[in-house]
Structure 1
Amino acid sequence: MKKVLLVLGMILTLLLTACGEKKEASTEEGKLKVGLVLSTGGLGDKSFNDLAYAGMQRAQEELGIEFKYVEPASVSEFEGFLGEFAENNYDLTIGIGFQMADAMEKVAADYPDSKFMLVDMPVEAPNAIGAVFNTEEGSFLAGALAAMMSENQKVGFIGGMDVPPIREFGNGFLAGARYVNNDIEIVQAFVGGNSPFNDPAKGKEIALSMNDNGIDVIYHAAAGSGNGLFEAARERNFYAVGVDSDQDYLEPGLVLTSMLKKLDNAIIAVIKDLQAGEFEGGTRMFDVANDGVGITELTYTKEKIGEEKLAKLEEIKQMLINKEISVKDEISKLN
Structure 2
Amino acid sequence: MIKKSGILAILFAVVLVISFMGFSQPAEAETIQVGAVFSLGGLGDLSFNDLAYEALENASEDYDVEFDYIEPDSSADFDPSLRRFAERNYDLVLAVGFLQEEEVRQISQEYPHVNFAHVDVAHEPAIDNVRGMLFADHQSSFLVGALSALVTEEDNVGFLGGIDSPLINKFEGGFVQGVEYIAEEDKDIEIQRSYADSFDDAARGREIALGFIDDGADVIYHASGGTGDGLFTAAEEEDIYAIGVDSNQNWISPGHIIASKLKNVDVAVYNTIEDVVKGDFEGGRNMEFDLEVDGVGTTPLESVIDEVIEPELDEEDREAILQMKEEVTAPHAERIEEIREKIIEDEIEIEDWSEIGRQ
> Under a length normalisation based on structure 2, what TM-score does the superposition of the two structures give?
0.73
**Deviations 1:154-197 (CA, angstroms, capped at 9, x unpaired):** 322223455443332222112112223422413122145xx544
What corresponds to 2:137 in structure 1? 135
Alignment gaps of 5+ in structure 1: 1-26
Aligned-partner SS, 2:292? coil
The CA distance in 2 between the partners of 1:312 and 1:284, in whole Å, is 29
Deviations 1:96-144 (A, max 9, x none): 1233333322332122122110112234522101212222111111112
Give the counterpart of 1:258 among 236, 257, 260: 260
Q: Name 1:315's counterpart in structure 2.
A: 338
Give the 3-state SS of the residue equivalent to 1:137 in structure 2. helix
1:294 aligns with 2:293: no
Correspondent of 1:305 among 319, 328, 331: 328
C-alpha separation between the residues in 2 aligned to 1:204 and 1:70? Answer: 30
SS in 2 for 1:117: strand
Tell me by how many angstroms 1:81 deviates.
4.4
Secondary structure of the corresponding residue to residue 249 of structure 1: coil
Distance 1:42 1:200 in 2: 14
SS at match of 1:248: coil
> Which residue of structure 1 lines up, in the alignment, with residue 150 of structure 2?
148
Q: Distance in 1 between matches of 2:199 and 2:86?
A: 33
Which residue in 2 is equivalent to 1:70? 69
Gaps of 5+ in 2: 1-26, 306-320
C-alpha distance after superposition, 1:232-262 (max 9, x if no partner): 2112211111223332222111011122222
**2:210 touches 2:234 (CA, 8 Å); kept in 1?**
yes
Q: Could you tell me which of 186, 192, 197 is aligned with 1:188?
A: 192
- How far off is 1:219 after superposition? 1.1
Asked whether the equivalents of residues 47 and 245 of structure 2 are also in contact (C-alpha less than 8 Å), the reply is no
CA distance in structure 1 between the partners assigned to 2:28 and 2:76 by the alignment: 33
Aligned twin of 1:239: 241
In the other structure, the counterpart of 1:53 is 53
Partner-residue secondary structure (3-state), 2:251: helix
Letter of the structure 2 residue corresponding to residue 190 of structure 1: S
User: Amino acid of the residue matched to residue 44 of structure 2?
Assistant: G
Q: Measured at CA, do residues 93 and 319 of structure 1 come closer, stay the same or move farther in structure 2, by a change above 3 Å? A: same
Equivalents in 2 of 1:179, 1:146: separation in Å?
Answer: 11
Alpha-carbon distance between aligned partners in 2 of 1:236 and 1:72, rounded to the nearest angstrom: 33
Rg bigger for which structure? 2
Deviation at 1:209, TM superposition (A): 3.6
Superposed displacement of residue 198, structure 1: 4.6
Query: Structure 1 residues 37 and 198, CA, compared in 2 at 3 Å: closer, same or farther?
Result: closer
The within-5 A match list for 1:158-307 is 158-182=160-184, 183-191=187-195, 196-274=198-276, 275=278, 277=280, 279-297=282-300, 299=305, 300=321, 301-305=324-328, 307=330
State the 1:200 CA deviation.
Answer: 4.0
Change in 2 beyond 3 A, CA 1:35/1:259: same
Q: Per the alignment, do residues 161 and 184 of structure 1 end up closer, same or farther by CA in structure 2, a change over 3 Å counting? A: farther
User: How many Å separate the matches in 2 of 1:191 and 1:87?
Assistant: 37
8 A Cα contact 2:56 2:67, kept in partner: no
- Structure 1 residue 29 displacement after superposition: 0.5
Percent sequence identity is: 39
Partner of 1:67, secondary structure, is: strand
TM-score, length-scaled by structure 1: 0.77
Question: Comparing 141-150 with 264-273, which one deviates more in the overlay?
Answer: 264-273
Contact 1:233 1:254 in 2 (8 A): yes
Task: Give the conservation status (yes or no) of the 8 Å contact 2:148–2:179.
Answer: yes
**Any idea what SS the aligned residue of 2:118 has?**
strand
Correspondence for 2:92: 92
Q: 1:109 to 1:297 in 2, by over 3 A?
A: same
User: What letter corresponds to residue 68 of structure 2 in structure 1?
Assistant: Y
Contact 2:40 2:199 (C-alpha < 8 Å) held by counterparts = no
Contact 1:197–1:223, Cα closer than 8 Å, also in 2: yes
Bigger mean CA offset, 81-90 vs 243-252: 81-90
Cα displacement (A) at 1:153: 2.9
Q: RMSD value over aligned CA atoms?
A: 3.2
C-alpha separation in 2, matches of 1:49 and 1:60:
17
Q: How far apart in 1 are the matches of 2:95 and 2:164?
A: 26
**Alpha-carbon distance in structure 2 between the residues aligned to 1:57 and 1:202:** 32
**C-alpha distance in 2 between matches for 1:33 and 1:162:** 34
Mean CA deviation greater in 262-271 or 252-261: 262-271
Output the amino acid matched with 2:70: E
Q: Is the 8 A contact 2:127 2:283 kept in 1?
A: no
**Separation in structure 2 between the aligned mates of residue 267 and residue 329 of structure 1, nearest angstrom:** 23
**Letter in structure 1 aligned against 2:228:** G
Q: Secondary structure at the match of 2:273?
A: helix
